Amino acid sequence: MTKRLTWEQKSIVSHDTGHALVKAVPGSGKTTTLVKRVERLVKTGTDPRSILILMYNKSAQVSFTENLKTALMSSVIPEIRTFHSLALKIVGYGERQQIIKKKDLITPSDYRYEQLVKQAYRYGFDHEANYIDPNEIENFELFIARCRAAAVTPVDAANDPTFSNIKREFIHAYGRYCELLEENSLRTFDDCLIEAVALLRNDSSLGAHFKHIIVDEYQDVNLIQHDMTRLLSKSDTSVMAVGDVNQCIYEWRGARPDFIGGLFERH
């Protein structure tokens, strides 16, 4: 027997047009409510292909896709992606159109990435020894993630007072890290996000077919993901941001829970 929706859940499901901020705490029936919302949009005439649903990680994306397929009982469902997979799709378009350079995707589990990070670290710290403290490498990778999350270049990092407490060697190493990626025609998922945002800024037609955008776990987005959401949102797009500022778990990697309250300030 299907559990009946509360009046708060019903108001989310029946929301028509315009932006909406949904504060969802654990155990609030968020997934069921969002599936019901999408189901209602489709049943009332919205083209599923005009709906974009952004999930924060792959497991959430897979789970939501299965739930939605069951609810809609159709082979045509909305586009359900993570920020990274959407960025990769946009970057792929840019490569095919020869707007941006074609590069290989590299992930942290790739041996080449591990060697590249160590090479950059040695450059920054003028480190000749074979052994490098794993904790220092981890700290360097966190610094890289923090910079990429805010699209901070090595020059920005060197001149930004908010980085004054960071070892200058980290900043030099970060500069070399960026150079090595470019020299070897490589990009990470974080690079994909940065390049995708640049493409969206330069071509307003990208993503223009989306009339409804739902973003889950918005408290965990970083600056570049926040910018992507804004750029995908056109004048006739309704954005529903779902999250709980008290549940932010990625703040150490550049997540900004304050974005959830300010998403629609310029709309």
Binding residues, as ranges, are 24-31
CA distance 106 to 122: 20
CA angle 237, 243, 249 (to 5 degrees): 130
Question: CB of 169 within 8 A of CB of 161?
Answer: no
CA distance 259 to 262: 5
Which residues belong to the annotated binding site for ATP? 24-31
Give kind and range of the element (H or E) at residue 229: helix 223-232
Q: Which residues contact 139 (CB under 8 A, 6 or more apart)?
A: 170
Closest CA to 80 of 115, 48, 39: 48
Where are any strands of DSSP class E within 17-176?
Answer: 20-23, 51-55, 79-82, 104-105
